[in-house]
A and B are shown apart, each in its own frame.
Chain A
Amino acid sequence: MKQPFHIIESTCVPLPLENVDTDQIIPARFLKATDKEGFGENLFRDWRYNADGSPKDFVLNDPTYSGCVLVAGRNFGSGSSREHAAWAIAGYGFRVVISSFFADIHKQNELNNFVLPVVVSEGFLARLFASIDADPKMQVRIDLPNQTVTNLATNESEHFDINGYKKYCLENALDDIDFLVQSKDKIAQWEASQKA
């Protein structure tokens, strides 16, 4: 999952529901693995499949929609801190999630798995849903270096925030542990200062 991120153009998969919690993204009974593989198969499991494994009427089962950008209603990823939700999203093949609001822990989990959470205004989101509805083959462009997201059907563009450190990590496929293990002297110094 460690892969550099620069510019992505893709069609979208729309999920216009609010408060999508991580129990829906990946139900608890699929958290028993001891590795990170295979979670994509169970992404949105109980919205996607019936108990007998047959498909439900759900956007991931609709061939009209495809692409590596998930577009979701506000407060995406609330609830449990399970990083398995981010592994499921990345494992399915999504590289970007666009919403007007993300839950804190899940947003961080996405970033730590090289999935980019893009926060847009409510208006931009509503118009993006409308564009997808009008033409499921429309595309969005996510430009990380310039921190812009563009609805290519309307050419509406918006700036999105990301801190400079994390942006550098995404562009260069580096993670936080690479950074932290190099700061052990500083950590030991801090510990010593507490004992003084």
Chain B
Amino acid sequence: MNTLFDKIWDRHVVQHVEDGPDQLYIDRLYAHEVTSPQAFAGMRARGLKCFRPDHIYCMPDHNTPTHDQDKPIEDPVSKKQVDTLEQNCRDFGLTHFGMLHPNNGIIHVVGPELGLSLPGMTIVCGDSHTSTHGAMGAVAFGIGTSEVEMVMASQCILQAKPKSMRINVEGQLGKGVTAKDVALYLMSQLSTSGATGYFVEYAGSTVRSLSMEGRLTLCNLSIEMGARGGFIAPDEVTFAYLKGRPNAPQGEAWDKAVAEWSELKSGEDAVFDKELTFRAEDIEPMITYGTNPGMGIGITQQIPAPQNASDEKALKYMQFAGGEPMLGKPVDYVFLGACTNGRIEDFRAFASIVKGRQKAANVTAWLVPGSWRVLDQIKAEGLDKVLTEAGFAIRQPGCSACLAMNDDKIPAGKLAVSTSNRNFEGRQGPGSRTCLASPLVAAAAAVTGFITDPRTLF
């Protein structure tokens, strides 16, 4: 009761369906090429137009190649899906940022950086990592394609109200410990289903101290604990990030908006269905050893012994054994990018480790900015030079090897340290083995050629 989640959700309820869900108004629908074509087809079959086309923003990101984007996509099936989105946007009168458009990038990187995702909004997309936008103080969550069609048709969705959970993280993070490590730590404690059925508010001094990029990373991973979404009450950090963004309110409207947004917080008397508190001091740089994101440990720890058939299957797939250390395992691939860690701060962190060092000969590294704007910023800060001198190349923006729908596939059996969000079997390509970690851990692996504690390289 009286949580920020209640305030935003309840305000958006158009009606409560008797003995059923809430009809929730959606302020922003994002759509990409993978989960939208069947929704558009459904709209056509029913003879419907988009109810509020100006609330909808579309861009391809999953299939986009990360090189030579000025040339036609080689894979005809990927090309068709990307072309279909463009045609659908034309037919339905929607805003579309195509591959070479300066606003293109991973949809969850672009929304915040353009100021399209704002505090107090309801935001959905046919993509589970829509939880990312919760960092702006919005109720943002992933939906299925049928639900994408619902929002196109009515700007509403039918949804049972989730329960609320507050996760407090208190204290100061150690050197080399990032928002990614906080998220991987929370997942290791809660498991991938620990927050299922809940919407999470992240709070506490550690969370408050995170930059906007860090908050986006933390909220991005809410779904990996099973939570429908996660958010952080907006504050001065949020406002400073948003000020001057192309779609953020300007002038008088800005002052009015900030005054309204400043009210967006849980009441002193707020009651959550569940409340958990963790200590920042307990968190070290994290890495996963298994085949779901909850199978993570501190980088200096040993792989736990399997507890059941599912654990055994995971370790067999990863070619690891209980009791082994993660440190020292040879690494074949390093992936920096994704909606989790494809923002400017992530490239700064990676560059801080590789500066003055060289990429290890046994490592193939894919560095993929989350958007063209991120790439521009990398160049403006001269990080491209640092990375190039260390033997790395920067690719063009897109989801890339996070789920390997384009050509960026980790080959079968190869071990990758990835800053992405999922280490499921075959996620980064059939047979690929993924260890999830922060950009610092990824950089340490990239220059040493094996899993390395980045704190030893400072």
Contact = CB atoms under 8 A, between A and B. Distances in A.
Contacts of B42: 177
A36 B193 CA distance: 28
Contact of B18 (A32, A46, A109, A164): A164
B403 A28 contact: yes
A183 B154 contact: yes
Interface residues of B, number: 69
Interface in A102-134: 103-105, 108-109, 112-113
Interface string B376-391: 0000000000000000
Contacts of B14: 183, 186-187, 190
Contacts of B150: 176-177, 180
Contacts of A105: 128, 142-144, 228
B427 to A, nearest CB: 5
Contact of A46 (B19, B62, B80, B426): B426
Interface string A163-186: 111100000000111011101101
Interface string B190-234: 001100110000000000000000000000000110101000000
B62 to A, nearest CB: 8
Interface in B1-45: 14-15, 17-21, 23, 25, 34-35, 37-38, 41-42
A81 interface: yes
A96 interface: no
A35 interface: yes
B228 A112 contact: no
A163 B19 CA distance: 6
Nearest to A165: B20
Nearest to A75: B193
A24 interface: yes
A86 interface: yes
A108 B124 CA distance: 15
Nearest to A176: B158
B235 interface: no
B19 A165 contact: yes
A83 B35 contact: yes
Interface stretch (A11-19, A55-63, A142-150): A11-19
B144 A112 contact: yes
Given A83-B145, A165-B20, A75 B309 contact: no
Interface of B: 14-15, 17-21, 23, 25, 34-35, 37-38, 41-42, 46, 48, 51, 62-63, 77-78, 80-81, 84, 126-128, 142-147, 149-150, 153-160, 162, 192-193, 196-197, 223-224, 226, 228, 292, 308-310, 313, 403-405, 412, 422, 424-427, 430-431
Given A29-B405, A31-B405, 20 more contacts: A21-B422, A27-B426, A28-B404, A29-B404, A31-B62, A75-B226, A80-B127, A83-B38, A83-B144, A105-B142, A108-B147, A109-B145, A109-B146, A112-B147, A163-B20, A164-B20, A177-B150, A180-B154, A186-B15, A187-B51
26 contacts: A19-B292, A19-B310, A21-B292, A23-B426, A23-B427, A24-B426, A31-B34, A33-B81, A34-B81, A51-B430, A75-B226, A79-B128, A80-B127, A80-B128, A83-B144, A112-B146, A164-B18, A164-B20, A165-B17, A165-B19, A165-B20, A176-B147, A177-B146, A180-B150, A184-B154, A186-B23
Ranked 3 nearest A-B pairs via Cβ:
A165-B20, A164-B19, A83-B144
